[in-house]
Structure 1
């Protein structure tokens, strides 16, 4: 290649980069005030995660006294829904709102911070992150990619999903084209499903057209907003693939580190405040939506066949074994820390939360 050709090629690359930067709204900076951009994995204003993203942006502005404001962009407005991680890592945007389950291709251990099949509930997961060493591992994992992460919500226990036809045994499950994501997806694949990962906005059409046979996204409230109940009438539980499912914001670490302490705190507190609000909203709205699905839309709520649950549990065990022996040393440490805290909680829960919940199902006169 000639010197002139090399210079021309470099000029073309520079021009393309400049054009891309020009197409992306630049952050506003004036008189000590900044406007950051949040890119999300959700359709704009999607009930649940989309609205939570808006709330976090608003709270950062309020807590910062207007010195740091955040403009929210829905999936596809600036970058594709599954492109938000890279956009923030590379500095194209300042922060994103999504779920850890989408980033297994970056580091498999990241999946533990979102959910693990037959793993921890939302409350247990936060306990691990706060008291069991999970938070330090979370920071270490995302720092590899130039990000500072914060949990900012959780949808609680999910459902196994919406199915176009009845599932009576593991044999009916094998071969299904099934939309899911994260480490639960690896479990389903080993149990015989053909796993497809689709962003929220594409699931309904895939179910309606028969491109997929079943799908899980979040739960009754959000799933019905997207219309799944219109095209898949069998709704199965329990959602062993996600006993919890964390939502997160990821902030460009260099830009976060450059902030004064009070603005760092504004981001942290906005995420923390939204976490519990999001979790309790899911717990409030899911049962209302489920009642409507059954009474108004003839959805049939079914418990998954026991042989399917056993097969899924064994498959989850295989996934866990591989992660505990992963080539990446950080993934191994994350897995060991998660297992230790999960097993501690699993021994206690039947005597506490589970025990009380089971007692409530007794034939007593109450209320």
Structure 2
């Protein structure tokens, strides 16, 4: 073949290939429909880490689809009150919500296991159970009955045990204490003599200041640091045994989710999982510094006594037995967690627990501090 004819033919072929690519573009675009959703968050914008999870999901989806799949995020109270976010997704007021399932436990206790139950999992154990132990599917089996489907969308890690105006060293000290505490945990501590109170986040500080309540739990050092609780309730207890690893979830209207093409469903699950891991990492990074700042500002750290923790552990399992006798969806989810819970804490004694304990001893001996040059 002559060089000139080869180049001519090659050029023609190149043009044809380019034309084919051009013609193929509209067909590809047609496979990626434009979807615009709204999301009701249960959280205020001031809680940038937990509220920010919804914004992160929105950003990831928009970038991955070249703007074809967008989710507009609304903070708690902008469309519906924060505690109504899950219901808004279920009834179709919005297509999605970002919340903690136990906010709806009063509507149905079966909402709680997908979020957290006192004395069950740490964040790492909960993630293992969710993604490989069937936790997500187990939760969705219940949620399907209320027109929802959910995927994990964040975790705070083990939370703190609350701010108290006075020290609580024994069970007797808890009798009659009016405490702002959310979810199923309120029913547990009620068995210890605590009087649980349902109070919105913005009303906690003035309620403590006026003495309307005696104690309040919120989240952990990073979020608590913004609210100044140490000024009115200086005793900061740990651990928050009712939230060892609370899953913050994305809830989607089941009908709207089912309308999505399979590629969008897959992408949505992937972005949820990425957001889930990202939030935990952010809290793990921010909480250590925040706790030091709180201590410097007057917070007095206290650990719950073994007497209180043991009594709370017993009370929690009494509550689970009571609810399980009345609610099959709760019972099925709770009992599915038990085998892995037992295995996890047996295994963890040979893993992180032993390693972390050794490293904590070194830290207390001053051997982890950076050397000064």
Distance 2:193 2:334 in 1: 24
Matched, 1:288 2:289: yes
1:33-91 Cα shifts (integer Å, max 9, x gaps): 23211111111242221112211122122222211111111111111111111111110
Counterpart of 2:18?
A: none
How large is the Cα RMSD of the aligned pairs? 1.7
> Match of 1:283, SS?
helix
- Matched residue, 1:114: 115
Report how many aligned residue pairs link the two structures.
Answer: 335
Whole-angstrom distance in 2 between the partners of 1:54 and 1:193: 36
Question: CA separation in 1, counterparts of 2:187 and 2:81?
Answer: 23
Structure 2: how far apart are the matches of 1:43 and 1:361? 35
SS of residue in 1 equivalent to 2:150 = strand
Q: Assess if the C-alpha contact under 8 Å between 1:64 and 1:262 holds in 2.
A: no
Counterpart in the other structure of 2:147: 146
* Unpaired segments ≥5 residues, structure 2: 1-31
Match of 1:12 in 2: none
Moved more, 44-53 or 339-348: 44-53
Q: Which residue of the partner structure matches residue 23 of structure 1?
A: none
User: Structure 1 CA distance, aligned partners of 2:248 and 2:216?
Assistant: 19
Structure 2 matches for 1:242-257, cutoff 5 A? 242-257=243-258
Quote how far apart the aligned CAs of 1:307 are: 1.8
3-state SS in 1 of match to 2:225: helix
| Paired position in structure 1 for 2:6 | none
Structure-2 residue corresponding to 1:68: 69
Map 1:47-66 → 2, pairs under 5 A: 47-66=48-67
Tell me which residue corresponds to 1:175.
176
Q: Compared with structure 1, are the counterparts of its residues 53 and 229 closer, same or farther at alpha carbon in structure 2 (3 Å cutoff)?
A: farther
- Matches of 1:63 and 1:200, distance apart in 2: 34
- The match for 1:335 is 334
Residue 309 in 1 paired to residue 320 in 2? no
Gaps in structure 1 of 5+ consecutive residues: 1-30
2:358 aligned with 1:359, yes or no? Answer: yes
Structure 2-normalised TM-score? Answer: 0.86
Matched, 1:217 2:222: no
TM-score (norm. length: structure 1): 0.87
SS at match of 2:189: helix
Q: Cα distance, 1:346 vs. partner?
A: 1.6
Q: Which has the larger radius of gyration?
A: 2
d(CA) in 1 for partners of 2:175, 2:191: 10
Corresponding residue for 2:47?
Answer: 46
Paired residues for 1:131-142 under 5 Å = 131-142=132-143
Distance 1:59 1:200, change over 3 A: farther
Q: Which residue of 2 aligns with 1:347?
A: 346
Residue 232 (1) aligns with residue 233 (2)? yes
Tell me by how many angstroms 1:32 deviates.
4.2
Aligned to 1:274: 275
CA contact (8 A) 2:162 2:218 kept: yes
> Could you give the per-residue CA deviations for residues 5-51 of structure 1, whole angstroms, max 9, x where no partner exists?
xxxxxxxxxxxxxxxxxxxxxxxxxx942321111111124222111
CA contact (8 A) 2:101 2:115 kept: yes
Determine whether 1:318 maps to 2:318: yes
Give deviations 1:324-366, integer Å, cap 9, x for gaps: x333322221111011111111211111111111121335645
Distance 1:64 1:201, change over 3 A: farther
The 8 Å contact of residues 231 and 298 in structure 2, kept in 1 or not, is answered as no
